[in-house]
A and B are shown apart, each in its own frame.
Chain A
Amino acid sequence: MNAWRNVWTITKRELGAYFTSPLAYVFIVIFLLLCGFFTFFVGGFFERQEASLVRPFFDWHPWFYLFLVPAVGMRLWAEERRVGTIELLLTMPITAWQAIVGKFLASWLFLALALVLTFPVVITVNRLGDPDNGVILTAYVGSWLMAGAYLAISCITSALTRSQVVSFIISLVVCLFLILAGFPPVINVLEQVAPRLVDLVASFSVMTHFEGFQKGVLDSRDVLFFLSVIGFSLFTTSVILRTHRAG
């Protein structure tokens, strides 16, 4: 009970920090603009003549997140280290885990808010046709889980450095790898070069695991994949924070 109270106190503070800086508003506006533009213009929502959000809307999410999630996560620990508040935070009567989870949750909830704000797209598709809303909901859940995986990786890179820019770039590269490992052109090349590695490499990709959600299939293996990326990354973050202090 007490542990979750501490986590929630941290989460509240972090959420507050997002909304007192312009970052939150800039992020949400850019995210919504990108979603709208890609869905209706690049994704050809109207030309497709089908009541589905999978291709025109959700297909772009891994790519949006590539740039936007590291921007959300970059300040989590880098800023604490730069300003020195990490010394306050980690000498409070809370465990490092509570601080890590609290911070992660705050950013993840923030991303959830951004996702929820894309609701006009759902309304539009419902007005124009008769989509399978179950599929849309599952895809939303998958998209949020995927954002969580990116975010947890950003936590690691943020804990590694006191520079937000360095954190942003490193996590972008790592996340790019997670996308490309399952990106069809890369898979095709890999099939010719090392056909036996294809499945292994692709199983590391967020693309492979997001695919199922987009079809409306809530596969426990896919859920487990994202959750284990999150768990592993947060654990790595705790190790980095500890070794950093050990000097």
Chain B
Amino acid sequence: MIKVQNLAKVFGAKRAVDDVSFSVNRGEVLGFLGPNGAGKSTTMRMITGFLPPSGGSVSVGGFDIVEHPIEARRLIGYLPENAPAYTDMTVHGFLNFAAEIRGLRGDARKQAVSRVVDLCFLESVLHQSVETLSKGYRHRTCFAQSIIHDPDVLVLDEPTDGLDPNQKHEVRQLIRRMGEKKAIIFSTHILEEVDAVCSRAIIIDRGKIVANGTPQELRQKSEWAGAVTLRIKGVASSAVTAKLYQVPLVKRVTVVDDKDGRVTVRAFPKGEANGKLAQAVGEAVHEWQIEQLQAEEGRLDEVFRSITMPDTAKEAA
């Protein structure tokens, strides 16, 4: 549904987005990750046709966003960053306006408005002016606007920003449910969201795509992937480390914690351990009192840091 090819945006001397290509199909939820200022919002603004690209192309449902902007925009629902809404209108008035400008009239409009009011839990504030809403409600009002015409494509710029944990959960549920039938792209810098919602994730840093894959695949890139964490009671840390180094699959052992007679260590595998490390470690230390033995899956935040941090370190030097 969304096809982005060699997309670029130049602001003065700065390349905000540099040669970005990806596509999102129906039934996919694409998470767009990256540090602040990496070019996430700029990319989304080009996909929705707000900013014209400096190079490359975007097509939505087969319509080029520059050549056929109206047809393409009809298919898109867009939640801009910071969820702007007309502050002088009531929630009801605002949603009516959004429905009308999307071409919904009469009964179709009423139905569309009441549907999104239910979906986004706006009933209690329906006749309140947007200006007086709390941030969470304002966010949901703008979100409601983006799904009012039941679009095939949803572009959501930080949809859970500023919401409380319960609201975050609700919005994630909603995105995941809608993702079954739509093509969704959403940006976030909350990594747990990627696991909770996305079928695929892209990490973008300083305008370039630096990683692209399922959350599982991204996690594999973590040096933690395949490591084993072990907690043992009543043995000195040096003894545990020495023992683990005797296991052939172990490449490196680090002591995570050592207090109250409990030692927590982490063993990293040599090459591809294929999940056998946990068993090997377990066998090696079986005569000790094992409190915990856990195979690590790899962590997204660690992957995120290792991908986006080295560059900033270089820049500082």
A residues adjacent to B (C-beta < 8 A):
2, 6, 9-10, 13, 16-17, 20-21, 83-85, 87-88, 90-95, 245-247
Contact of A85 among B45, B52, B69, B86 (CB under 8 A): B86
Residue of B whose beta carbon sits closest to that of A19 = B88
- Interface residues in B63-92 (C-beta closer than 8 Å to A): 69-71, 73-74, 76, 78, 80-82, 84-89
Residue of A whose beta carbon sits closest to that of B77 = A91
Q: Give the complex CA separation of A9 and B101 in angstroms.
A: 6
Is B9's CB within 8 Å of the partner chain A?
Answer: yes
Contact of A21 among B74, B82, B88 (CB under 8 A): B88
19 contacts between A and B (CB under 8 A): A6-B101, A9-B97, A13-B89, A13-B97, A21-B88, A83-B84, A83-B86, A85-B85, A85-B86, A88-B80, A90-B49, A91-B48, A91-B73, A93-B101, A93-B103, A94-B70, A245-B51, A246-B51, A247-B9
B residues adjacent to A (C-beta < 8 A):
9-12, 45, 48-52, 69-71, 73-74, 76, 78, 80-82, 84-89, 93, 97-98, 100-103, 129, 142, 145
* A84 pairs with B82, CB closer than 8 A: yes
Contact of A93 among B12, B84, B89, B102 (CB under 8 A): B102
Q: Give the complex CA separation of A123 and B103 in angstroms.
A: 44
Known contacts: A6-B101, A247-B9, A247-B11. The answer to whether A13 contacts B74 by CB under 8 A is no
A-B pairs, top 8 by smallest CB distance, nearest first, are A84-B84, A87-B80, A93-B74, A93-B73, A91-B48, A85-B84, A247-B11, A17-B88
A16-B89, A20-B88, A95-B69 known; 14 new pairs, CB 8 Å cut-off, are: A6-B101, A9-B101, A13-B97, A83-B85, A85-B86, A87-B45, A87-B50, A87-B80, A88-B142, A91-B49, A92-B73, A94-B70, A94-B101, A246-B52
Known contacts: A10-B101, A247-B11. The answer to whether A90 contacts B87 by CB under 8 A is no
* A92 pairs with B101, CB closer than 8 A: yes
Q: Give the complex CA separation of A246 and B51 in angstroms.
A: 6
- A90 proximity list for chain B (CB < 8 A): 49-50
Q: Give the complex CA separation of A192 and B189 in angstroms.
A: 69
| Min distance, Cβ B27 to any Cβ of chain A, angstroms | 24
Contact of A17 among B80, B81, B89, B98 (CB under 8 A): B89
Contact of B86 among A17, A91, A246, A247 (CB under 8 A): A17
| Min distance, Cβ B16 to any Cβ of chain A, angstroms | 8
Q: Give the complex CA separation of A93 and B101 in angstroms.
A: 7
- B98 proximity list for chain A (CB < 8 A): 92
Contact of A91 among B71, B76, B129 (CB under 8 A): B76
Which of A91, A92, A247 counts the most B-chain CB atoms under 10 A from its CB? A91
| Min distance, Cβ A73 to any Cβ of chain B, angstroms | 16
Q: Give the complex CA separation of A87 and B48 in angstroms.
A: 9
Q: Give the complex CA separation of A41 and B200 in angstroms.
A: 74
| Min distance, Cβ B268 to any Cβ of chain A, angstroms | 46
| Min distance, Cβ A17 to any Cβ of chain B, angstroms | 5
Q: Give the complex CA separation of A135 and B216 in angstroms.
A: 79
- B86 proximity list for chain A (CB < 8 A): 13, 17, 83, 85
- B145 proximity list for chain A (CB < 8 A): 88
